[in-house]
Amino acid sequence: MQVHNKIDNLKTDISNYKSANKKIGFVPTMGALHEGHLSLIKVAKENAEIVVVSVFVNPTQFNDPNDYKKYPRNFSKDTEILKNAGAHIVFMPFEEEIYPGKDTRQFDFGALERVMEGKHRPGHFNGVAQVVSRLFDIVEPDVAVFGEKDFQQLTIIRKMVKDYNYPTKILGAPIVRETDGLAMSSRNQRLTSEQRKNAAFINQILAASKNKTHQLSVEQVENWVTESLNKIDHLKVEYFQIVDQETLQPINNWQENCDKIGCIAVYCGEIRLIDNIKYSL
């Protein structure tokens, strides 16, 4: 496995594989790797011959400077994990490689970015698009894999690829969970043991809400989830919204003809966690 900090070296390595007609799969991450990330690498390996993984804590997507400062970083452990996972190339860029100057590009994803994460984290998706487009320009992957845990992000990346004609195929991978149901996240390691225990209720309440769709309206299910979680120590729901999986716009009733997903952001102490659940009616 090759580890690169600089674009030039990375590109030379990748172009050797490209001239040998090898298909390049790409998994962008912010590190502090867990099984969720490894599942994306597995999908990349099934769909490409060479797997490139980037580890970069992207400053432009953090709307909260404290979250950026405290985001877990463990580059040597990540390198070990990636070696064991069978990644071929790791890109851990210096910040000035990704942003040689201030990135002033403004992306517009329309209604997709005006709800949920986009609404509550101003500038977040612009930062995500800046870093992912920059990484796509450098790696030029045939396939890139993103997790459904960040469902809105996956939708926005698909839109970016379409709008900007990237020749990259985007694959989504299902959420990987801890045994008690909590969605794996690098931020989970910042929870105290009591917070960690209570964080498991997020998925448990979401799962229970799937059995409520016959008795309760969409709005009532949203309220039930929010109120149930807010009763639990340490948890404070920022939003819970049931939306159309494609347009991400709120739905008003269960009869609407679309696939439905409930997306949630919850503060557990000062740690912000996200999750989602698909409703099949």
> Which sequence positions are flagged as catalytic?
37
Taking residue 221's Cβ as centre, other Cβ atoms within 10 Å add up to 20
Minimal CA–CA distance to 90: which of 57, 55, 45?
55
Residue choice 52, 81, 112, 173 for contact with ligand AMP (CB under 6 A) = 173
Q: Which is nearer to ligand AMP, 181 or 269 (CB)?
A: 181
Q: Is 87 in the site for ligand AMP (CB under 6 A)?
A: no
Q: Which of 4, 7, 39, 79 binds ligand AMP (CB under 6 A)?
A: 39
Work out which of 121, 134, 149, 196 binds ligand AMP, going by CB under 6 A. Answer: 149
The count of residues interacting with ligand AMP (CB under 6 A) is: 17
Backbone torsions φ then ψ of 55, nearest 5 degrees: -125, 105
Percentages of the chain per state (helix, strand, coil), in multiples of 5:
45, 20, 35
Minimum Å gap between C-beta 8 and ligand AMP is 25
Position 173, amino acid: A
196 binds ligand AMP, rule: CB under 6 A: no
- Type of residue at 201: F
Name which position in 40, 51, 81, 229 contacts ligand AMP (CB under 6 A).
40
CA angle 199, 68, 147 (to 5 degrees): 55
Among 78, 97, 142, 150, binds ligand AMP (CB under 6 A): 150
Q: Which two tokens stand for residue 249?
A: 């716009």
Which residue of the chain is nearest ligand AMP when measured via CB? Answer: 147
In the bound state with ligand AMP, the residue whose beta carbon lies nearer, of 7 and 55, is 55
Question: At 52, is the secondary structure helix, strand, or coil?
Answer: strand
- Name the residue nearer to ligand AMP (CB basis): 29 or 198: 29
Binding residue (CB under 6 A) for ligand AMP from 89, 132, 160, 175: 175
By CB under 6 A, is residue 190 in contact with ligand AMP?
Answer: no
How many Cβ atoms are within 10 Å of 35's Cβ, its own excluded? Answer: 12
Asked if residue 183 binds ligand AMP (CB under 6 A), the reply is yes
Are 88 and 23 within 8 A, CB to CB? no
For ligand AMP, the binding residues in 203-232 under the rule CB under 6 A are: none
The secondary structure of residue 250, as a DSSP letter, is: B
Amino acid at 263: C
Residue 256 DSSP label: S
Residues in contact with ligand AMP by CB under 6 A are: 29-30, 36-37, 39-40, 146-147, 149-150, 173, 175-176, 183-186
